[in-house]
Chains A and B, each alone.
Chain A
Amino acid sequence: EPEVTQTPSHQVTQMGQEVILRCVPISNHLYFYWYRQILGQKVEFLVSFYNNEISEKSEIFDDQFSVERPDGSNFTLKIRSTKLEDSAMYFCARQGDEQFFGPGTRLTVL
């Protein structure tokens, strides 16, 4: 059983549309993260979320991004108005003895 699951595996959207990426950490941990990986580039930290609040965010995580844990199990990343440069792989991770990463959601903005 995977430690972290993410849905959808692939999301295609039009520029300017809102997208919500979902992550289910499964076990009860308090620290969660979103990272992104633009094709061919390194993995970049976006935001960390602790005890239902943002604890740290990068300069990439601007007002277009938001995170929530709406029901105590799902952990979501919302992009309000997508841009072409938001096309990337988005990884959710949870902190245990180490950071466990989900399989990722590939976001394609057309």
Chain B
Amino acid sequence: AQSVTQLDSQVPVFEEAPVELRCNYSSSVSVYLFWYVQYPNQGLQLLLKYLSGSTLVKGINGFEAEFNKSQTSFHLRKPSVHISDTAEYFCAVSASSSNTGKLIFGQGTTLQVKP
């Protein structure tokens, strides 16, 4: 079974500052990793994903994440945030061997960008 831990429930940051949202996972098998964003009263939108290959993954809206297998982490970063990045961010995993591709989500991190 897989599990995901997002270490920070809330991250306040000033506009144009860098940000890192932390994600650690646990799994006995190899996994695919995802970051989703949820804006208020909206559904989930994929930011980026790691399936294989380069451990540094670039996504939409200037976000990137780095897969670290030894530390079982997949932290999300952005060098300069905007007010519009204020949202809930979810890290998720699925077992690469899974027949169904179900996603296991972390608790979420609320990114609050202040002017």
Contacts and interface: CB of A to CB of B under 8 A. Distances in A.
A86 to B, nearest CB: 19
A93 B107 CA distance: 19
A8 B90 CA distance: 24
A91 B100 CA distance: 17
A101 B108 contact: no
A31 interface: yes
A46 B63 CA distance: 29
A56 B45 CA distance: 23
A91 B90 contact: no
A44 interface: yes
B81 to A, nearest CB: 23
B102 A48 contact: yes
A104 B107 CA distance: 18
B40 interface: no
Nearest to A40: B108
B100 A103 contact: no
Contacts of A55: 99-100
A56 B104 CA distance: 13
Given A43-B90, A98-B34, A31 B42 contact: no
Contact of B104 (A33, A45, A50): A45
A56 B100 contact: yes
Contacts of B106: 42
Interface string B11-33: 00000000000000000000000
B107 A31 contact: no
A95 interface: yes
Given A33-B102, A33-B103, A55-B100, 6 more contacts: A42-B107, A43-B105, A56-B100, A56-B102, A93-B44, A103-B42
Interface of A: 31, 33, 35, 41-45, 48, 50, 55-56, 91, 93, 95, 98-104
